[in-house]
Amino acid sequence: RRELPDGGARPNAAQFKQLVVTALRELHGEVGAALPVDVLTYEEKTLSAILRVISSGLVKLWSALTLLGSYQNRTCAFRVLQTSPFLLALSGNSRELVL
């Protein structure tokens, strides 16, 4: 799950996907931009989304998102909240688990 704290712009779902692909292209070139990434959900209110990618492409995607600096001439930052191979695990925080 990723969260985008922004300066003021609010991208919609398609623009968000475009942003992700641009980040990949900037860091890893055409090969990176061709990495199949799916946006599973996207909330415009909180600017957070759940992305899906093949496991071998996780490092590329994550590093590309981390190093993205600007969106429409405005500084922005991606904040990766959770990564997991299972969708169910994204709903809870395993550090605060009370047994």
Partner 1 sequence: QNILTVCFSVGYSAVALNHVIDFKEKKQEIIKPVSPSELFPSLPIVQGTSKRIKVLTRLTLVVSDPSHCNLLRSTSTNIRLYDIIAVFPKTEKLFHIACTTLDVDLVCINVTEKLPFYFRRPPVNMAIDRGIYFELLYTPAIKDSTMRRYTISNAISLMQICKGKNIVISSAAERALELRGPYDVANLGLLFGLSESEAKAAVSTNCRATMLHGETRKTACGVVYTVKKPRKVEEEETIVPACKKAKTQA
List contacts with partner 1 (CB under 8 A).
Answer: 5, 7, 26-27, 59, 62-63, 65-69, 75-80, 83, 95-96
Number of alpha carbons in the 13 Å side-chain half-sphere of residue 47 = 17
- Closer Cβ to partner 1, 15 or 83, answer by number: 83
Q: How far is the CB of 77 from partner 1 (least distance, A)?
A: 5
- Closer Cβ to partner 1, 12 or 93, answer by number: 93
What dihedral do alpha carbons 55, 58, 60, 61 form, nearest 10°? 120
- Closer Cβ to partner 1, 14 or 24, answer by number: 24
Are 79 and 2 spatial neighbours (Cβ–Cβ below 8 Å)?
yes
